[in-house]
Chains A and B, each alone.
Chain A
């Protein structure tokens, strides 16, 4: 079977079995290794991507379910022209990434939260990243990073 995906703005077609995990399609067929595998069973969130803007763990999604979908991975956040996204920049400044293995997934959950326009309270941010495990940071600086990016968004009205 062949499936049509728009990944980070680029339309692609992959010819793979329909039950192949989206995570493997991204990492192995498309060479986008930014999405990580920490458990393969939906628990850690390291494989988090956005599917049509919604947060999803790509290790539990067979590619047949995302035919014609728009996928965003960590590779789609920064652009060559504008550099790091505002959230990535905030992570860099606050120290939200330590070993970095949870970071791609965290960024996408954080980005979905920012895109939702929700009020960036401490509790709301924690709720938004509750599906992403981080063993390094104690989450403090990740929460700070999301809040910082949200603050800048609100300031600039962007």
Chain B
């Protein structure tokens, strides 16, 4: 066995480091933190999709002396939540434009919740309605646009034996971390604030505080509390909440708690972007796809937030993991008067790959080929060239994950069986079973030049008292960051894992290692951690002439502390040109396949997903248990996306903004998930890991939809595949409205104040 000798591969899997604290209830999440004398904060939000804010009226009959009120006028710095663009205000100013429902307008704080509740009722927003835009196809405001081209699409389509066309729509999806968003701000003795919170990216909040409060780096301190799930949903909105809590804390000179309840979290915070994707695919009778013409529109909601980056990933992944000679992909992201959409596991790829995979299954059906064979024919192989002209030089495992999934699920055999039972089906049958397959790729780390621009730093130090410590801003929110980093460093230094500490994620202590997003933690930050550890080892061994493990304590005693700051070094041979949008869009790709088996109730059209075989190429497995956990969790989120998770909107407001109405899968709804991990390493990092977080999210939904088709013969083009949509497809009646788009109440429609 070579496993133990591999860099980064621990001997045996250590137990999750913070596991005991989480299991005994002693892990402290934001709402568990106690700050004596703290007040409670709340947010006054708009109740219209678009309007001019004329005035904020405080009821004079109410005793306001017990309540702190903050409006846009009280913001010391720029009234902007710092992100890609400077368009989103911290609070809508009087005279300014409300651009979506549940937009923050004013903040209140009080010593107790009852006073706060009462005060909320005594605030009135006076507004003048403006016509909102809900239909992304009617929007005239574009946040971003990318055009990719390879070969000659028109010639390719003209030469094809058959051209298949299809339009696919997906709606919003809520991250639904079980811990709601929560931030607590505490005034700092030397000016500024300390913000404790549930968050993924301490330095995003840090940057937002500096700009909004006009304070220096030292005065803005951000500390991550134990975080009860993120999935992208705590990437950007914590900047907004952190600013709100900080404004109230500075006003009251007390700690202020902004703890969202589920309703507020659902109503106001970011969701997965709805998308409309249209495909024209040219295919030859032998299964070779010769042309893909793809048009993709993402609904960004009311502000730019992270939409341009989500769009670029959606666009680059839109063709799926297939080497097609002629490709044209046009991606646009537009503004609508709905709450801004943002990051959610997969970051644009699940939307566009659902469309790509469903389209390919329809193409296979049109030429009478099996879904497995059409993929074998077209999947990327070593040396394949992507639509950004990236040459795939290593770690290409599309074929392998496909074959492993087909084998483990006995795809061909089961498919023959389901086809037979479909042929024999009688009106008395109550259920139908089906099997479906999907394949995906997922670019590891940031898109394009993102990582190089970020300039991340990780530190590993040997303290004067002989303790090895990792300093990184990468956050733990369930994935196991606090376990795998010590594992990597311990392996590099030849120490037991217990000998390596993790510094807390506190901007006063750790450098900016970039955000905990894009599945970049294990690959990018993990790689830098190993590099830093290696340099530390070399420094110590150079001085002591003995192996690190036996000499580091002596070295610390003789020589004092040693700290290595490791900056990100671009991977050799990886380059991207932003101007032409060509080159290596990602340093590496992960590959995933899923086979789903479903049972469709032929009376109610409800779908039960029975089992999923998930095969994921993660480069290298650092910790098998944690890695499988990522695949299983991501797979179930994809099943929810495919079958039940949908947000309905009325006048731009989320209607099902409670946990009673926004449903996610329970243990009873969850399929049996079999995970198979494949290792096709990325050569640019010492440990070969390519990340795992997002991969499973890309394949689950198209696999389930393919299985529904196998069971019933109906193609579902819109997610989620609800009973209504399945019934509509089978019975030939009109489907329910497209997902992700707001309906307009009769009053509003009568006023004619909607641009559609």
Binding site for B on A (CB under 8 A): 27, 31-41, 43-44, 46, 73-75, 77-78, 84, 88, 91-95, 97-104, 107, 122, 125-127, 129-143
Contacts and interface: CB of A to CB of B under 8 A. Distances in A.
14 contacts: A31-B34, A41-B659, A95-B16, A98-B633, A101-B228, A127-B667, A130-B668, A131-B666, A133-B664, A135-B178, A135-B229, A136-B229, A137-B632, A138-B633
A72 B175 CA distance: 30
Interface string B236-251: 0000000000000000
B689 to A, nearest CB: 18
A124 to B, nearest CB: 11
Please classify the interface of chain B as helix (H, G, I), strand (E, B), loop, or mixed, using the class held by over half of its residues: loop
A27 B31 CA distance: 10
B659 A98 contact: no
A102 B178 contact: yes
B508 interface: no
A34 B24 contact: yes
Given A127-B668, A140-B632, A141-B632, A99 B261 contact: no
A99 B34 CA distance: 21
A99 B179 contact: yes
A36 B226 CA distance: 13
B633 A88 contact: no
Given A38-B180, A43-B658, A133-B178, 4 more contacts: A43-B659, A97-B23, A122-B672, A135-B175
Please classify the interface of chain A as helix (H, G, I), strand (E, B), loop, or mixed, using the class held by over half of its residues: loop
Contacts of A35: 25
B27 interface: yes
Contacts of A75: 24-26
Contact of A40 (B24, B26, B231, B261): B261
A33 B179 CA distance: 13
Residue with the highest number of chain B CB atoms closer than 10 Å, among A27, A40, A46, A97: A97
Contacts of B25: 32-35, 73-75, 104
Interface of B: 15-16, 18-29, 31-32, 34, 175-180, 226-231, 261-262, 477-480, 625-626, 628-629, 632-637, 658-660, 664, 666-668, 670, 672-673
A99 B177 contact: yes
Residue with the highest number of chain A CB atoms closer than 10 Å, among B34, B177, B178: B178
B16 A135 contact: no
Contacts of B477: 99
A74 B178 contact: no
Nearest to B24: A78
A126 B667 contact: yes
A44 B262 CA distance: 10
A130 B28 CA distance: 25
B668 A100 contact: no
B22 A97 contact: yes
Contacts of A34: 24-26
A38 B662 CA distance: 13
Q: Which 3 A-B pairs have the closest CB atoms?
A: A34-B25, A101-B228, A100-B22
Given A126-B667, A133-B664, A140 B15 contact: no
